[in-house]
Amino acid sequence: MKQLLKERFQQLAGIKPLYINEALNKPLKNFGKDLQKRLESVEFSTKIFSDENGVPMEVRQKISENPKLAGISYEEFEKNDGQIYYHIEVAVHADRLQDLEKVVDYFEVPEGEYGPDKEVDWVIKNVKVTNPGDIVRSRVDSNQKIASVRYFTSLGGGDQVISRDK
């Protein structure tokens, strides 16, 4: 009964619990395997590259020649504050942009660390909507023959509210 009420609440709130739990309740390091499974479910042949700042150029070249290929790069790095952060990039052929967007939408990871701008009197405020360590993503981008998206962990610190004049 408790689980049913929880699911109903999430449904009314517009939250799809399966997707959110699958993406947000695990470290980004383990999220790469989920991305690989979802890419393979839409018929990509996918390979993961560890300790790379992005999908290697030679792999990007192969992807641009073959729309069935996809690459996932994974990087772990330490910031000046001593904390470990993670970064994932997914690259596919630009003709398969819609398939990449389906995979991205499946996980419902927020785009960026801050919510939309809100106009309050003579200033515009933008509120941080993530906690340190949350998974966030970039906008799905397409240039030349490659479409890509980046996932990263939200950084700690910084202002919770950013304001600027209208």
CA distances from 35 to 38, 60, 121, 129 (A): 5, 18, 42, 23
- Is residue 10 within a helix (H) or strand (E), and if so which, with residue range? helix 2-12
pLDDT recorded at residue 5: 58
pLDDT recorded at residue 165: 58
pLDDT recorded at residue 126: 66
pLDDT tens over the chain, length 166 residues: 555 556 666 666 555 444 444 445 567 778 888 899 999 999 999 999 988 888 999 999 999 999 999 999 988 877 777 777 788 999 999 999 999 999 999 988 877 766 666 777 777 666 666 667 778 888 899 988 999 999 887 766 555 555 555 5
pLDDT recorded at residue 76: 83
pLDDT recorded at residue 93: 96
pLDDT recorded at residue 152: 83
Distance of CA 12 to the CA centre of its chain: 24
- Which pair of structure tokens corresponds to residue 27? 């470290």
d(CA 56, CA 21): 30
Give the domains, in start order, of the chain with CATH numbers: 2-112+132-158 (3.30.2000)
Amino acid sitting at position 86: Y
